[in-house]
Each structure stands twice: as structure tokens, then as C-alpha cells.
Amino acid sequence: MAHTLIADVIREETLLIGGEWVPGNGGEIEVENPATEETIGVAYKASADDAEAGILAAQAAFPRWAATPVGERVALLRRLGAVIRDRADRFAEIIHREQGSPPALARKLHVDVPLAVIDQTADALDSFEFTRQIGHSLVVREPVGVVAAITPWNLPLHQVVVKVVPSLAAGATVVHKPAELTPLTAFELARAISDAGFPPGTFNLVPGSGKDIGSLLTRHAAVDHVSFTGSTPVGAQVAAAAAQTIKKVTLELGGKSASVILADVDDELLTKAVKVTVANCYLNAGQTCTALSRLIVPADRLSEVEQVAIAAASKYAPGERLGPLISATHRMKVLEYTEGARSTGGRRIDTFDQSALPDRGYYARPAVFSDVDPKSDLAQDEIFGPVLSILAADDDQHAIDLANDSMFGLGGAVWALSEQSALQTARQIRTGQIDINGAAFNARAPFGGYKRSGLGREIGDFGIEDVLEIKSVQR
Ligand code: ADP
């Protein structure tokens, strides 16, 4: 009974700083439900002084937390998993309301996936090798210090968990600035971290705008590492600001991932490939950085692919299977690519009835373009909406070249009957992830991008490694 879980309008007036819930002095954020356009929450922001207090609390908590035995940190991570699992319905309901995802997706994608990440991080920490002997040197991995986590709105729990949990696992302390559009999930997570029993100051919540609080975190001398997820232009600004004090940075930025169907596929695998690609592209209304937004197919199979894609896309009714886009502004941007000036790079083939869009909410009709010009905006830009571009390749090498014809390098997929050519192709595509024949997400495998999709890796052993310094002790 969703409505009994949370108030109609949630009020979050206090921030978590140094283990205390203190009033936020930076004004209010009104949170809107993008599916209904109603106000569903009010969250208080941190002032610059509050953010400063959060950073100093993290700095003060660092020495003790860094020295806490690994076994205790593992136990606390497992407690955090248990607390979130207990409150999973509540998390899913908040995410459904502030981010717009349909209820089933809010639970499966937005809550169950980060829960798996927490479990896997605890396992990774349990067996992590913090020391290594190289000749007469003992090489020691030590936590980096204070990590500033700056996160986006598209996956309001997962994007936070993949930064905060490996940082806490490593023995670093954290200051978190969530996206302004989705702060309510961040407050709920802060409560779970506090209730799980993490020591005061190990995790601090300082909501606010990117311009004020985000940039303060990236410039502050007491922050040692900035972990940012968001757009590539803002990522570049974050890295430039962090460079002034030589902070380490982890950047998870945009993507334009390709799903590549090789020439050897039979009808069955081709059908599966197209259906899975459409589902992946439209997941979270297309608002995932790994969305398979380009489908690259053998030219002589194009019409077959188009038929399957049109049928698959028509099942994504906005308001039912397809959630809304996050805001009116974002929908305007997506419509530029589907109805506006940037829609000219391909042939629109979907048959979805525009009149079936819900009256309220920032919904967009699911779009499929075929014969897309590889140099067009449709093929090159990260649209972050339910828009699939199909590109025709002359042969497998051309398909690989098209896949690599992107400034991004985040994810991708390969479909082939031959395991060997699938693997060879996967190795030739310059991205941080590739799924062969629909293989599932691995909550322990490193996640991150090549090229302008980012720097560093999150999740599991590599996520822990990302926030560790390395010391060589000669003896
Ligand atoms: P999106 O709008 O897709 O979430 P952005 O890249 O605009 O992507 O923002 C991602 C996160 O970065 C948000 O939390 C935002 O407030 C923050 N942010 C925006 N501008 C800056 C900045 N100049 N410095 C630090 N953080 C920023």
C-alpha cells in the first residue's frame, strides 16, 4: 500500500553532518513528481557554511575510520544492506515519486541493483589485498581521505551507492551532494547509513545546487578526491576545478553505446538482439548513461530489424511501461531530436500514436529512427531519452568502425553466433563495458568509461581501488 508508506508531501529539513541531524541553512528545494507535475517534497539545502561543516566533519572522522579493522567495515556494510532491504518498499516508493519510474522498475532497477552492489562490495572488501610485496618494498594501499560524491538524478540511489559504499569500504569518509531534482532518496539513504551505525562524520549529506555546493566541494582544500557522475561538459569543469588542488577524480560521464549485430546471426538471435536493445535503450525512459542508443546491423538485414524494432517499441506505452522524462526542460531537449531540428539524420519508423501520451507528466513518445547518418546529431549526441538510432553496416569491420565512431566509450553490446568473433569484436570496441548476447549486469565488475565517458572505475574491487592511495615502504 504505497500511500501508507510516506507522506503526501515529504519534508526533509535537517542535514546529516558529523553524525547529527542539523537544520539546513541554504534555502529550500521543491521536489516535483515528473509523472504528475505535483509537488511531492521539500528538502532543505546546505549553505556554504553547512557544506564546510560537512567537509570538516568528514576530515575529522577520517583517521579513526581509516584505522577501523576491515572486518568491522565489512560488518557495517552488511548492516547497511540489511537496513535498506528492510526499507526497500519505502525507497522504491520515494524513487517512483521523485524520479518517475514505474513502481516495478523503481524496485527492480533502482533498489535491487544497488542492494546487489552493496553485497558485492562487502564481499570484495572481505577478500581485498591491501598490501603487496615488490622486491624489498612493502606496497600498502591506504584510503584517500575525504571523498566528495556529486551525483545525478537518473538513478537517485544507485549512482550514490556506487560512490559512497566503495569509499566507506576503503576507509575513506564521504560528503555527498545529490542532484537537486532528486534529493529525497539521498535523505533516505543518509538515514539508512546513520541507522546502520556508521561512526559520526564518516558520511555527511550536503544537498544544494551544483553551482554553489558542488563547486565548493570540488575546490575545497580538505577534499582529497571528487567522484562525479553527470554530463561530460560539467565533468570537465569538475576536473578543472579539482586540478587546482591536485585532487584525484573519478568521472562517470555520458555515453552513446552501440549494440552491434554481426553478420553471422540467425533469425532467432537477430530478433532477440533487437528486442533486448530496444528494452535497454528505453530503460528508465532512456535516461541511463549505458543506454544502447545505437543499433548497428548488417545492411542486408535492415528491413527485418526495422520490423522487430517497430513492434518492440510499440509495447512501451508512456505512463505504463515507459516512465516520464525527469523535467519539462529535459523533455524539450529530447523533443529537439525526435520532432525538432536535430531529427533530420534518419528516417522515423516507429508507429506509436502521439495522442496516447498521458495528459500530465513529462512523457515522450518512444522513437525509432532507421538509416541514421553516422555523422548526424541523432547518431553522435547523448539524447538521454527513449530514442533508438539504427545504423546499417556493410560488414563486421564496418560495424566495429561505426561503434567506435563516437567521442564516448561507456558501454556496448555484441551479438554473434560465434563466441570467438563476439569476443574479438568486444575487444575491438573501445568502451568500458560490453555485453555479449544479452549477458546480465555484474554488480562486482568494474564500471566506467573510455574516451570522454570518464575516468576511473566504480563498483566492486576496482571501485575500492579507485579511492586508495599507494605507498611503497622499503625495508
Ligand atoms: P544532470 O543534470 O544530467 O544530472 P549535470 O552534469 O548537470 O547532469 O549534474 C550532475 C551533478 O553535478 C548534479 O548533482 C549537479 O548539481 C552537479 N553539478 C552541476 N554543475 C556543477 C559544477 N560546476 N561543479 C560541481 N558540481 C556540479
DSSP calls for 56-125? HHHHHHHHHHHHS-HHHHHHHHHHHHHHHHHTHHHHHHHHHHHH---HHHHHIIIIIHHHHHHHHHHHHH
Distance 299 CA to ligand 1 centre (A): 39
Count how many residues are written for the chain: 475
Q: What confidence score (pLDDT) does residue 1 get?
A: 40
Our mutation pick for probing the ligand 1 site, out of 45, 150, 155, counting the most ligand atoms within 8 A of Cβ, is 150
Rounded to whole angstroms, the Cα distance separating 414 from 190 reads 38
Report CA dihedral (369, 370, 373, 379) to the nearest 10 degrees: 50
* Phi (first) and psi of residue 299, to 5 degrees: -55, -35
Asked if residues 32 and 63 have their Cβ atoms less than 8 Å apart, the reply is no
Q: What confidence score (pLDDT) does residue 5 get?
A: 67
Rounded to whole angstroms, the Cα distance separating 16 from 347 reads 51
Look at the pTM and tell me if it is higher than 0.85: yes
* Phi (first) and psi of residue 235, to 5 degrees: -55, -40
Which one-letter DSSP state was computed for residue 318? B
Residue 51: enclosing H or E segment and its boundaries? helix 48-67
CA atoms within 13 A on the CB side of 400: 14
Asked if residues 194 and 22 have their Cβ atoms less than 8 Å apart, the reply is no
* Closest ligand 1 atom number to CA of residue 241: 24
Residue nearest (by alpha carbon) to ligand 1 atom 5: 230
What CATH architecture applies to the domain 10-253+453-474? 3-Layer(aba) Sandwich (3.40)
Strands in 347-348's sheet, in edge-to-edge order, are 347-348, 367-370, 387-393, 294-298, 258-261, 412-415, 435-436
Residue nearest (by alpha carbon) to ligand 1 atom 20: 210
Rounded to whole angstroms, the Cα distance separating 333 from 329 reads 7
**Which residues are identified as catalytic?**
252, 289
* Closest ligand 1 atom number to CA of residue 235: 6
Domain boundaries along the sequence of the chain: 10-253+453-474, 258-442
Q: What confidence score (pLDDT) does residue 227 get?
A: 98
Residue 290: enclosing H or E segment and its boundaries? none
Rounded to whole angstroms, the Cα distance separating 29 from 300 reads 52
Q: What confidence score (pLDDT) does residue 356 get?
A: 79
Cα separations (Å) of 123 from 49, 170, 365? 37, 12, 42
Residue nearest (by alpha carbon) to ligand 1 atom 15: 210
Distance 233 CA to ligand 1 centre (A): 9
Class for the domain spanning 258-442: alpha beta
Strands (E), 112-194: 131-134, 137-143, 146-150, 173-177
Distance 234 CA to ligand 1 centre (A): 6
Counting Cβ atoms within 10 Å, is residue 193 exposed (0-12), middle (13-18) or buried (19+)? buried
User: Cell match 549486469: residue?
Assistant: 441
Phi/psi region, residue 456 (left: phi>0; alpha: psi -120 to 50; beta: rest), is left
User: Cell match 541523432: residue?
Assistant: 378
Q: List beta partners, residue 225.
A: 147, 248
**DSSP SS3 for 474:** strand
Residue nearest (by alpha carbon) to ligand 1 atom 3: 230
Our mutation pick for probing the ligand 1 site, out of 234, 289, 327, 333, counting the most ligand atoms within 8 A of Cβ, is 234
pLDDT tens digits in sequence order for the chain, 475 residues long: 444 568 899 999 999 999 999 999 999 999 999 999 999 999 999 999 999 999 999 999 999 999 999 999 999 999 999 999 999 999 999 999 999 999 999 999 999 999 999 999 999 999 999 999 999 999 999 999 999 999 999 999 999 999 999 999 999 999 999 999 999 999 999 999 999 999 999 999 999 999 999 999 999 999 999 999 999 999 999 999 999 999 999 999 999 999 999 999 999 999 999 999 999 999 999 999 999 999 999 999 999 999 999 999 999 999 999 999 999 999 999 999 999 999 999 999 998 777 779 999 999 999 999 999 999 999 999 999 999 999 999 999 999 999 999 999 999 999 999 999 999 999 999 999 999 999 999 999 999 999 999 999 999 999 999 999 999 999 9
Which one-letter DSSP state was computed for residue 212? I
**DSSP SS3 for 263:** coil
* Closest ligand 1 atom number to CA of residue 179: 14
CA atoms within 13 A on the CB side of 127: 8
Pocket residues: Cβ below 6 A from ligand 1: 150-153, 177, 179-180, 209-211, 214-215, 218, 230-231, 234, 237-238
Residue nearest (by alpha carbon) to ligand 1 atom 8: 230
**Amino acid found at 446:** P
Q: What confidence score (pLDDT) does residue 352 get?
A: 77
Rounded to whole angstroms, the Cα distance separating 294 from 66 reads 44
Distance 180 CA to ligand 1 centre (A): 9
Q: What confidence score (pLDDT) does residue 292 get?
A: 98
Residue nearest (by alpha carbon) to ligand 1 atom 24: 215
Q: What confidence score (pLDDT) does residue 353 get?
A: 77
Distance 238 CA to ligand 1 centre (A): 9
Distance 152 CA to ligand 1 centre (A): 7
Asked if residues 250 and 242 have their Cβ atoms less than 8 Å apart, the reply is no
In degrees, rounded to 5, the angle at the alpha carbon of residue 158 between the alpha carbons of residues 321 and 456 is: 125
Asked if residues 254 and 452 have their Cβ atoms less than 8 Å apart, the reply is yes
